[in-house]
């Protein structure tokens, strides 16, 4: 293989090819990598409305491995590295990385992207795996395979090859699509044939189910296995569940993710997921797997991960992007970027202020303490509470149409909001303007009651109820130290309840606002504040979840299509036996008399 050096990166290829790409996607990738800093990738991706750029460069692609705790200088082999988004996460952890990528253009962009890595920290092979395997070492601590197809036609050969290149106690980090993932039942196309239901019918490229993948791994020498479940799938994971922490009803709400193509919509995935969760079948129907596997021995023990659940709030500005990890005994919230360290410090201060402000009530705020990570960076650590979710209790009331029970819950939230601490008059402070802008009509709020410290996120998902009925606020990230109207906080609680139940007439925003005695004029100001707040959180970035719309992907609701078909049939029945022109002549005669 030929060797060249791009900055501090060694690039090996079957023949040097540094010609600019001829296709539009390739040229766009080149422009972004060579012309933008990494913090600018997000805005360039959404501006370009390009699926390839999103898949190759979106930061959330790295969420699969960002949470892993690896020893410094771990020797890592990454297969199918693409343009290097996961490579970035591994390098930030101090790993020494060897990448394999068969697309020479992608491999070169990876090298250019990381040209300033430490000398000797990154080498890249631009060749198919079979061609570069003879050049790979056989003592890697970790092999990461996040974008190599795990399909029946080639998986066994791939896994046996990986086993040969790992240390005896090495770890495999393997992402795989699930043959029986709910999204394929619901109307997403099978990924490798681009056909509906092909994987389920075994008429296309055959994916693996969880049990068959476990058996295959064991046959290839990976006897120890731990499974995680990336949600919505392995491409842009926002949550990673595990067998020790599975999703609860109401958790899985983000299911329209057909970035690559149109889809049909056979049923509401959230409701079906809720039923699956009730039956204890989520691992079977999860859309994808992330498996940590090693040989019989110390592999998984050597690289044991404490986290049993991980959530990424990565569709935000770098100042506000955080990762939440739940372990067997605590909850940790850490900044994803250096710019977010002040935000974590703000959470720690919010706990102190809110605890004092509500000390005369029976509302409790989950204890928060400062801790230091292995790299010396501070994170917020919370107590892991074992209590029921208030959202689930409210959801049960909605399902049972027990509106008295539901509104008692809402009344209690409103009472806490209004009774929290010394009341202060509303004022448009610099802090208010920075977060909420200058909404039209804000002057009318001058007589509105406020608290000195305002947790605007007192919504149902953020409150737990223990056995004796005490409420515990588990997330107070969005607390502000300037006057915010109580009614705005109540408005947000009602807004998100309505958002979860958009078709319930009893929970329309009009009815909820009447109940809370919030006038339409006042609500309009709060709606503007909410829009400005969302811009503040994202830093003006378009969230990646909006890319389905930006890419103009369509989803066809099968129920609506059937109703349209029935209307057409009914119209045809009216004209049956008459002929369209005969009917038209009759209409003309009635209108003109001729």
Cα distances (Å, whole numbers) of residue 407 to 2, 395, 445, 564: 71, 12, 25, 38
pLDDT at position 85 over 90 = yes
Average pLDDT over residues 253-278: 93
pLDDT number for residue 385:
92
> What whole-number distance in Å separates Cα of residue 334 and Cα of residue 104?
36
What's the pLDDT score for residue 566? 77
DSSP 237: -
pLDDT tier for residue 152 given thresholds of 50, 70 and 90 = confident
pLDDT category of residue 521 using cuts at 50, 70 and 90? very high
Residue 574: predicted pLDDT: 62
For the chain, the 3-state helix, strand and coil shares in percent, each to the nearest 5, are: 40, 20, 35
Query: Which 8-state DSSP code applies to residue 84?
Result: S
Inform me whether the pLDDT recorded for 582 exceeds 80: no
Report the chain's terminal Cα–Cα distance, integer Å: 87
Mean pLDDT of 166-181: 94
Residue 593 has pLDDT above 70, yes or no: no
- What pLDDT is stored for residue 206 in this prediction? 82
- Contact predicate 91/65, CB 8 Å: no
Q: Which percentage of the chain shows pLDDT scores above 90?
A: 77
Residue positions counted in the chain: 594
Q: What percent of the chain has pLDDT over 70?
A: 94
For residue 267, the model assigns a pLDDT of 92
DSSP code string of 538-579: HTTPPPGGGHHHHTT--EEEHHHHHHHHHHHHHHHHHHTTT-
What pLDDT shows up at residue 328? Answer: 87
pLDDT level of residue 195 (50, 70, 90 thresholds): confident
Residue 578's pLDDT band (boundaries 50, 70, 90)? low
**Mean pLDDT, to the nearest integer, of 258-269?**
93
pLDDT tens digits, residue range 330-367? 999 999 999 999 999 999 999 999 999 999 999 999 99
Strands (E), 341-457: 364-365, 368-372, 378-383, 388-389, 423-425, 449-451, 454-455
Is the pLDDT score of 587 beyond 60? Answer: no
| pLDDT value at residue 38 | 93
Rounded CA gap, 180 and 199, in Å? 8
Task: Tell me what the mean pLDDT of segment 72-96 comes to.
Answer: 96
pLDDT at residue 204 in the model: 60
Over 70: is that where the pLDDT of 382 sits? yes
- pLDDT tens across 409-439, in order? 999 999 999 987 778 889 999 999 999 999 9
Q: Which pLDDT does position 576 carry in this prediction? A: 59
Token digits of residue 237: 């994971």
Pairing of strands 75-79, 140-145: parallel
Per DSSP, helices labelled H in 251-375 are 269-278, 282-285, 299-302, 341-357
Higher-confidence residue of 519 and 204: namely 519
pLDDT at 241 over 70: yes
For residue range 267-297, list pLDDT tens digits in order: 999 999 999 999 999 999 999 999 999 986 5
Answer yes or no: are the C-beta atoms of 237 and 63 closer than 8 Å: yes
Q: Which residue has the tokens 């709400």?
A: 253
Q: What pLDDT sits at residue 215?
A: 95
Give me the pLDDT at residue 287, please: 97
Q: How confident is the model over 232-240, as a mean pLDDT?
A: 96
In whole angstroms, give the CA distance from residue 36 to residue 454: 38
């Amino acid at each position: 293989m030929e060797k060249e050096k791009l900055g501090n990166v060694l690039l090996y290829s079957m023949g040097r090819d540094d010609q600019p790409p001829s296709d539009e996607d390739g040229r766009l990738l080149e422009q972004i990598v060579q012309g933008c800093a990494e913090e600018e990738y997000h805005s360039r991706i959404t501006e370009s409305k390009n699926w390839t750029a999103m898949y190759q460069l979106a930061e959330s692609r790295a969420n699969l491995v960002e949470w892993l705790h690896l020893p410094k200088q771990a020797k890592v082999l990454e297969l199918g590295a693409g343009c290097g988004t996961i490579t970035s996460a591994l390098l930030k952890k101090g790993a020494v990385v060897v990448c394999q990528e068969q697309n020479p253009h992608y491999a070169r962009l990876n090298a250019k992207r990381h040209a300033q890595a430490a000398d000797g920290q990154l080498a890249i092979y631009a060749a198919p795996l079979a061609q570069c395997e003879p050049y790979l070492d056989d003592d890697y601590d970790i092999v990461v395979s996040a974008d190599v197809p795990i399909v029946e036609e080639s998986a066994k050969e791939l896994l046996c090859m990986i086993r040969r290149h790992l240390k005896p106690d090495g770890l495999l980090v393997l992402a795989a699509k699930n043959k029986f993932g709910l999204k394929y039942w619901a109307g997403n196309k099978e990924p490798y044939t681009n056909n509906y239901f092909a994987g389920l019918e075994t008429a296309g490229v055959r994916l693996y189910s969880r049990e068959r993948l476990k058996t295959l791994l064991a046959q290839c020498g990976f006897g120890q296995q731990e499974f995680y479940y990336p949600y919505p799938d392995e491409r842009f994971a926002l949550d990673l569940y595990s067998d020790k922490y599975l999703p609860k009803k109401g958790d899985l709400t983000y299911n329209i993710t057909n970035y690559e193509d149109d889809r049909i919509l056979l049923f509401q995935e959230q409701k079906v997921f809720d039923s699956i969760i009730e039956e204890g079948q989520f691992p079977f129907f999860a859309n994808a797997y992330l498996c940590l596997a090693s040989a019989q021995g110390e592999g998984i023990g050597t690289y044991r991960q404490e986290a049993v659940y991980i959530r990424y709030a990565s569709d935000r500005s770098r100042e506000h992007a955080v990762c939440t990890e739940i372990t067997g005994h605590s909850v940790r919230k850490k900044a994803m970027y250096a710019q977010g360290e002040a935000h974590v410090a703000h959470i720690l201060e919010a706990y102190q202020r809110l605890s004092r402000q509500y000390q005369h009530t029976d509302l409790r705020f989950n204890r928060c303490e400062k801790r230091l990570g292995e790299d010396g960076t501070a994170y917020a650590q919370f107590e892991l509470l074992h209590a029921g979710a208030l959202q689930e209790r409210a959801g049960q009331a909605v399902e049972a149409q027990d509106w008295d029970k539901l509104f008692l819950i809402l009344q209690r939230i409103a009472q806490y909001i209004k009774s929290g601490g010394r009341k202060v008059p509303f004022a448009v402070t610099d802090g208010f303007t920075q977060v909420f802008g200058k909404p039209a009509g804000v002057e009318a709020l001058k007589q509105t009651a406020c608290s000195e410290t305002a947790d605007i996120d007192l919504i149902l998902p953020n409150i737990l109820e223990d056995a004796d009925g005490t409420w515990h606020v588990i997330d107070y990230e969005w607390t502000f130290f300037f006057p915010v109207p109580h009614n705005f906080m109540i408005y947000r609680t009602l807004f998100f309840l309505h958002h979860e139940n958009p078709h319930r007439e009893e929970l329309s925003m009009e009815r909820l606002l009447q109940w809370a005695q919030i006038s339409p004029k006042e609500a309009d100001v709060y709606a503007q504040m909410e829009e400005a707040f969302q811009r503040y959180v994202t830093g003006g970035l378009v969230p990646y979840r909006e890319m389905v719309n930006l890419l103009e992907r369509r989803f066809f609701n099968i129920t609506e299509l059937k109703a349209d078909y029935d209307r057409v049939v009914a119209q045809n029945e009216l004209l049956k036996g008459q002929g369209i022109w005969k009917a038209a002549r009759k209409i003309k005669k009635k209108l003109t008399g001729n």
